[in-house]
Amino acid sequence: MHVVILGNGISGITAARFVRKLSDYQITVVSSETDHFFSRTALMYIYMGHMRFQDTQPYEPQFWKKNRIDLKRARVERLDAGSKTLHFDSGETLAYDKLLLATGSKSNKFGWPGQDLKGVSGLYHYQDLETMEAYSPGLKRAVIVGGGLIGIEMAEMFHSRHIPVTFLVRETSYWDGILPAEESQMINRHIRENGIDLRLQTGLKEIEDDGTGRVCAVITDKGERIECGYVGLTAGVSPNIDFLKDSGLETNRGILVNEYLQTSLPDVFAAGDCVELRQPQPGRRAIEAVWYTGRMMGETVAYNIVADTAVNRQPSTINRQRYNPGIWFNSAKFIDIEYQVYGDIQARAPESHVSIYWEHPEGRKSVRIVYDKNTSSVLGFNLMGVRYRHEVCNKWLREKTPVETVLQNLALANFDPEFFKTYEKEVIAVYNRQSGRNLASKRQGRLDEVIQFLKGRAVESRG
């Protein structure tokens, strides 16, 4: 049985590892990006000098041979599902019995004139990092188009080398389709405090050619010309599926899959950023290009590949698994401000959502707790510059814990190092002002109490 995995990102490699744990099948991982799996989220730290490329590779080179996972560096041009064959641009072919498509994302382009000039790139693949490196020496200005997480990463990368950056964000405030207004305004201030030229409500009209096929300037949708030697296109990503258009595979924005991550073609599965769920769970999106969901999909699909194969051959000891991403979570860093979100936090919340919002006077830390006005159940946490424990927040959200219970025990969630200042009392004070209550914290949040709480036997603080 030959399992071929197309893509060596977190989804593909997680799937390869679990297929190996569950079976003795032949496994081949195909990628045109790099020889070995690396941490994509660490690309920025390579550029900033914090890590070397080899430091971003979780596994030593001998890992692949030891685990009997074959690696092939190649670019797929075409999938022939009828003959179960991949066709490479080199003219080679590779046959499979089961195929996993884990091809990830590509940076969005929206038909801007000049978008394919030299010195114009996104920030997703290792090759994008190489392009940034090639154009950085002597670079007098970079222009970044698009106000998401990738855009601010690229801005920080250039800023770390003292390269001036102009940041074009067409929205009225940074990432205001995701962040509530107060947090969005905080990041606006922080970007500008770091000397980055943030242009809100400003989009890209065209990219100018210097006459040699290289970028020399951009023209904004307000008619302004900004000279630059590099343009970063960071207006989101989309599933990397163009090569599948004549394969017979059913696609929409991404590869359509059911809850078992099966595609419309026999013996073909898909996982990760390239996937579009036919029936996403309530509150979740059909496409979620997030690291941890990619990892979860990789593990889930491995069980389903092996279970599917066993069903065709003999009684299976491996059960199929439905993909269940659980409660929404994400984390990022806005230059010096860490960000965490758990649960249902909306930029424009419905009337039934009540926010408890506390912000530090210095304007670089905040805590938002959202609860349901009718049931008082906690719905979500939005954190800037403050860290809460994933397991604790997840438990409260999963159990629909009343907000006052959460507030009284908020110290259990605190994850900042010892001797760091904590802000549970300030958050409770906001709630008391809003509600007219006189709530007080019950717990000190010692580690042993956190452990007991997660076991379902939280104990009262001692003395």
pLDDT digits (tens, 9 = 90+) for 64-103: 999 999 999 999 999 999 999 999 999 999 999 999 999 9
Could you tell me if residue 305 is left (phi over 0), alpha (psi between -120 and 50 degrees) or otherwise beta? Answer: alpha
> Is there a contact between 2 and 96 (Cβ–Cβ < 8 Å)?
yes
Reported confidence tier of residue 204, pLDDT bands at 50, 70, 90: very high
Q: In the predicted model, is pLDDT for residue 417 greater than 90?
A: no
Q: Where are the domains of the chain?
A: 2-105+238-313, 120-235, 329-454
Per-residue pLDDT band for 415 (boundaries 50, 70, 90) equals: confident
Q: Could you tell me which CATH number the domain at 329-454 has?
A: 3.30.390.30
Range in 256-265, 316-325, 343-352, 361-370 the model is least confident about: 316-325
Residue-wise pLDDT tens digits, 317-344: 789 999 999 999 999 999 999 999 999 9
Classify domain 2-105+238-313 by CATH architecture: 3-Layer(bba) Sandwich (3.50)
Range of weakest confidence among 121-125, 399-403, 451-455: 451-455
> Is 281 buried (19+), middle (13-18) or exposed (0-12) by CB count in 10 A?
middle
Per the prediction, the chain carries an average pLDDT of: 94
pLDDT band at 461 (very low <50, low <70, confident <90, very high): very low
Residue 455's pLDDT is what? 74
**CATH placement of domain 120-235:** 3.50.50.60
| Crossing angle between the packed helical segments 291-313 and 10-22, to the nearest 10 degrees | 40
pLDDT score of 443: 62
Same topology between domain 120-235 and domain 329-454: no
CA 410 to chain centroid? 27
Place of tokens 């758990």: 342
Distance CA 283, CA 281 (A): 6
Identify the helix (H) or strand (E) that includes residue 3. Answer: strand 2-6
Strand order in the sheet with 366-372: 329-334, 337-343, 378-384, 366-372, 353-359
Model confidence pLDDT, tens digit, residues 205-253: 999 999 999 999 999 999 999 999 999 999 999 999 999 999 999 999 9
Residue position matching structure tokens 């064959």: 85
- Residue 79: beta bridge partners? 86
Q: How confident is the model at residue 391 (pLDDT cuts 50, 70, 90)?
A: very high
Average pLDDT for 378-391: 96
Q: Calculate the CA dihedral of residues 246, 247, 248, 249 and round it to 10 degrees.
A: -120
The rounded distance, in Å, linking the Cα atoms of 191 and 188 is 5
Alpha carbon 91 to chain centroid, angstroms: 34
pLDDT exceeds 70 at position 444:
no
- Summarised one tens digit per residue, pLDDT across range 20-74 is 999 999 999 999 999 999 999 999 999 999 999 999 999 999 999 999 999 999 9
CA dist list (Å): 451 to 61, 293, 388, 446? 37, 26, 14, 9
What pLDDT, on the 0 to 100 scale, is given for residue 460?
44
